[in-house]
Amino acid sequence: MLCIQKSDPLNDILNKKFVTFVGAGGKTSLIEYLAAGAVKRGKRVALTTTTKIFVKEPYILTEKTGLYDRPDMPPYLRIGRSIENGKLTGVSFDEIDILGELFDLVLIEADGSKRLPLKYPAEYEPVIPPRSESIYVIAGLDSLSGTVKEKVFRWEIFCDRTGIKADEVVGPDLFLRFFTSNILLKGVEEIPCTIVLNKYDMLASRGEALKLAGALLTELPVRGVITSCIPFGIFYKTQLT
The pLDDT-based confidence of 69 (bands split at 50, 70, 90) is: low
Q: How much is the pLDDT for 68?
A: 63
- Whether residue 202 lies inside any domain: the answer is yes
Stated as kind and residue range, the H or E segment containing 47 is strand 45-49
Tell whether the model's pLDDT for residue 157 goes beyond 70: yes
Q: How much is the pLDDT for 221?
A: 79
C-alpha 162/C-alpha 66 separation (Å) is 45
Contact between 184 and 136 under an 8 Å Cβ cutoff? The reply is no
Give just the sign of the alpha carbon dihedral 87, 92, 93, 99.
negative
Average pLDDT over residues 175-179: 96
- Whether residue 2 lies inside any domain: the answer is no
- Whether residue 112 lies inside any domain: the answer is yes
Q: Which distant-in-sequence residues (6+ apart) come within 8 Å of 136 by Cβ?
A: 9, 19, 20, 21, 22, 23, 27, 30, 193, 194, 195, 196
Average pLDDT over residues 88-111: 95
- Whether residue 4 lies inside any domain: the answer is no
CATH code, domain carrying 71? 3.40.50
Average pLDDT over residues 160-178: 96
Number of structural domains, the chain? 1
* Residue 43 domain boundaries: 9-240
Q: Which distant-in-sequence residues (6+ apart) come within 8 Å of 233 by Cβ?
A: 8, 33
- State CA 21 to chain mean position distance: 3
C-alpha 180/C-alpha 72 separation (Å) is 43
pLDDT digits 0-9 by tens, 21-42: 999 989 999 999 999 999 999 9
- Whether residue 3 lies inside any domain: the answer is no
Q: Which distant-in-sequence residues (6+ apart) come within 8 Å of 160 by Cβ?
A: none
- Whether residue 193 lies inside any domain: the answer is yes
Q: How much is the pLDDT for 129?
A: 95
Give me the percent of the chain exceeding a pLDDT of 70.
96
- Whether residue 181 lies inside any domain: the answer is yes
Task: Tell me how far CA of residue 34 lies from CA of 21, 29, 45, in angstroms.
Answer: 12, 9, 9
- Whether residue 108 lies inside any domain: the answer is yes
C-alpha 201/C-alpha 142 separation (Å) is 9
